[in-house]
Chain A
Amino acid sequence: MPGFSSGGVGGGVGGPASTPPRPFRPSRYTSSYGNNTVCHHFVVPSFFILSRCPWLSEYFSSVIPIYNAVIFLFTLANFCMATFMDPGVFPRAEEDEDKEDDFRAPLHKTVEIKGIQVRMKWCSTCRFYRPPRCSHCSVCDNCVEDFDHHCPWVNNCIGRRNYRYFFLFLLSLTTHIMDVFGFGLVYVLHHRQQLDTPHAAVTMAVMCVAGLFFIPVAGLTGFHIVLVARGRTTNEQVTGKFRGGVNPFTNGCLRNITHVLCSSQAPRYMGRWRRPLSVEVQPPFLRPPLTEAQLEAKVLDNGIQNDQHSTRSKSSLDQMESQSADAEPPPPPKPELHYPSLPRADTEESSLLTEAPPTPSMYKYRPAFNSPGRNHPAFTTPNKVHVNLHLQRWPWRPWWACWGGVKGHVRLLPDWALLHLLPIPSGGSHSSSMRSAHTAHNPLATLHSEGTTDTSYKSLANQTPRNGSLSYDSLLTPSESPEFESVVSPSTPLQGYTSPFLSAQIAQQREGQLLQGSATFSSPHRAYLHAVSPPPPSSCGPLETHLLQHNQDSSSRAPRNPFTSHSSPGAQIFCCLCSFVVLFEIELTPFLLCPPLPNGYPIRSTSRPVLANHTTSKPGGGVKKVTGVGGTTYEISV
């Protein structure tokens, strides 16, 4: 583990001749997965820093070892916080919340933030519209608030809650490396005549390593300093969300910095203890007096309720459709309504689906969130309702539960670059299709623009190689990869998953199996399955074959991944330490070497320094501009 051992040795090379020279062990400075000496990398540096720098303390000042120790501990503490802290995971929405956002709701909801239109996308896994700056991490399979990126080396997302620690970790690590290099240099300069001694040799080697790792670390630190000053996340920077326009989330440089560094620690949403709320809800209920306008409305309405669901940004067509439906309790959605492949060509759904780019979303079905819903016994006891929200733990996801989703952990260096840049929106292929089967004026524009954006994502998924190595393509559609792996073949028992690439026939088969095999599926979810109907059969054949083959490959290669969720927590702690060891050279160097290309061009190892430049795409190099609803422009560099 170069950084810390170099720090230790750099601080300790001033030892007097009486101390036995430590044998030079190259393994300390090499980084490889499963390095057994990783445990030494914490013990040895601290030992050196704290007790073996007498020369420096004699020659200069005794503050030096203390300073080194402080910096080292600070770096370590921030690293641990960044690794183990919940980044701001949103809990899954309950069924009842989803009821309003039924299968006829649009895929996007637009909100205006400081005068700028920002789109909120529906997350099919978490079942809510993602708040602004939230993104779904496919590795952790969670929506994360203020999602920055997923760091594969700590195997954790960096989000609202732990960005500050990540940033401080980078700063302190840069400082630490500079210190190591500096003190090593001082020692070497003062022992120019004794360069053949092991101490000096070790010091020089450590200086070289430190100098080497300083470049990527400092580069990444500088990048994040710019991000913090601009008030952007890595995700937004890399996807070019605000390239041409204004960032609605910035409050000025100083305020952005204070927001990152000085704000109070954000609360976590998962794993909270709820205190028991015991409130009695017993009729008769008070009713407010009706105003005159309300009385008049009642008379005119003749008791028919208005459509309540049109208060949000839905299309007018949605309103028309839902008004009649809202006159009575919504019936269980009929599957046939949303099957464009069936001969009901008169519906808007089918016509729009055939016209629009055939990119139905790929989503992962989630069983209903285990919540006290309507049929909860507490609510339907024929007594006064004693709503006892008893002490209940939220679905708590321990930090190790997030591990194991990293695919291709043991891969070539360039691939890791791509994994480091997993913040590419995972819902890429989702957004192209409507959640509902039909659309209207505005959403049609959305669909069209999303189609161009996400056709590229979909085509990436098709190009996913079958040899199991993760190219940038598959990483651009990370949300699909777990879904790929979950589907082995049509003959296996269904897990409630529908692939967009299957033909309608197979999807129908699956539907039949779903209806038989799964008693837990509730009707809204079934409707949800059907609403996202497959593309016209003509475009499906080769894709379907490819998908099935890839699925089989993926499923066969899954067990070989040593870092799947099957590994024990002990092994994962060990992996964490390993990742700490290789943090600098792996995390940072690939980030520099391999720029993100969201259009799906596979990334191969290049030596292009991209850190300072990857934010600005050369217009001459081919930039595809895609305009979404509300003027948000995405530029995809080709």
Chain B
Amino acid sequence: TSEFHNLQELRHSASLETKVFIQRDYTEGTVCRFQTKFPSELDNRIERTLLEETVKTLNSYYVEAEKIGGQSYLEGCLACATAYIIFLCMETRYEKVLRKISGYIQEQNEKIYAPRGLLLTDPIERGMRVLEISIFEDQGSGTSSPSSSSMSSTGSAR
């Protein structure tokens, strides 16, 4: 009898297992801030310090975006003076920072999270209410996901 291996079993694959949501931290009002509390689902997936670092950086970006200072004031005055037509051509301060955040999240995903089977989703896509972290599971390591079980069953049925 020859051993028959399912090629798909040999190739490791990943599937989305679950999502973790880091909620907003409202202790200082409605300014955009995310909780730095470490969700327990990620206990064995990523080091605490890495995630906390990411969240803290994101929070600092949001503080910068919402800062009320000279630039935002001038922007407002210019917009008033041009009857808000300037909004068609100019990017507001907030939008600029959001672009930076988007770039930062992509970089973090590539360097830190994807190698660990995680994926960050930009909070702006969820209305800045939650920071969504998708957890992927390695199907080759055997989980309860249906596709892996069906594959392993076909493999073991030989």
Contact = CB atoms under 8 A, between A and B. Distances in A.
B56 interface: no
A259 B73 CA distance: 10
Interface stretch (A19-27, A377-385, A601-609): A377-385
B109 to A, nearest CB: 5
Contacts of A275: 102
Interface in A52-110: 73-74, 76-77, 80-81, 90-91, 93-94, 96-97, 99-100
Nearest to A101: B21
Interface in A223-279: 248-249, 251, 258-259, 261-267, 269, 272, 274-275, 277, 279
Contact of B30 (A168, A249, A265, A294): A249
A114 B114 contact: no
A306 B42 CA distance: 12
A286 interface: yes
A259 B144 contact: no
B117 A281 contact: yes
Given A264-B93, A267-B94, A287-B45, A374 B66 contact: no
Nearest to B43: A294
A76 B83 CA distance: 9
Contacts of A284: 12, 138, 140
Nearest to B37: A311
Given A281-B136, A285-B115, A374-B16, A118 B47 contact: no
A281 B109 CA distance: 9
Q: Is the interface of A mostly helix, strand, loop or mixed?
A: loop
Contact of A264 (B94, B117, B140): B94
Nearest to A385: B14
Interface string A590-605: 0000000000000000
A145 B102 CA distance: 22
A298 B75 CA distance: 55
A628 interface: no
Given A90-B127, A288-B47, A259 B106 contact: no
B23 interface: yes
A272 B75 contact: no
Nearest to B97: A264
B147 interface: yes
A190 interface: no
Interface string B99-122: 000100010011000111101001
Interface stretch (A128-136, A462-470, A481-489): A128-136
B72 A263 contact: yes
Interface in B116-155: 116-117, 119, 122, 124-130, 132, 136, 138-141, 144, 147, 151
Contacts of B40: 306, 308, 311
Contacts of B8: 382
B94 A133 contact: no
Most chain A C-beta atoms within 10 Å of own C-beta, residue among B30, B40, B136: B30
Contacts, number: 177
Nearest to A294: B43
A286 B37 CA distance: 22
Given A100-B21, A113-B26, A283-B117, A266 B12 contact: no
Contact of A279 (B13, B24, B76, B114): B114
Nearest to B146: A380
Contact of B138 (A272, A280, A283, A311): A283
B29 A248 contact: yes
A192 B109 CA distance: 77
Contacts of B27: 111-114
A280 B79 CA distance: 41
B156 interface: no
Contacts of A294: 43-44
B133 to A, nearest CB: 11
A128 B114 CA distance: 27
Given A74-B80, A279-B109, A288-B44, A264 B72 contact: yes
Q: Shortest 8 CB-CB distances between A and B: which pairs?
A: A285-B117, A283-B138, A77-B83, A264-B72, A90-B127, A379-B16, A283-B12, A264-B93
Interface of A: 73-74, 76-77, 80-81, 90-91, 93-94, 96-97, 99-100, 111-114, 118, 128, 131-133, 145-146, 164-165, 168, 248-249, 251, 258-259, 261-267, 269, 272, 274-275, 277, 279-288, 290, 294, 306, 308, 311-312, 329, 374, 376, 379-385, 387, 394
12 contacts: A91-B126, A114-B28, A131-B24, A133-B30, A249-B30, A259-B68, A267-B94, A277-B106, A281-B117, A281-B119, A285-B115, A379-B15
Given A96-B132, A267-B95, A274-B122, 14 more contacts: A90-B129, A91-B126, A114-B28, A269-B124, A277-B106, A280-B114, A282-B12, A283-B141, A286-B115, A288-B45, A288-B116, A308-B39, A312-B23, A380-B147
Interface of B: 8, 11-16, 19, 21, 23-24, 26-30, 37, 39-41, 43-47, 65-68, 71-73, 75-76, 79-80, 83-84, 87, 92-95, 98, 102, 106, 109-110, 114-117, 119, 122, 124-130, 132, 136, 138-141, 144, 147, 151
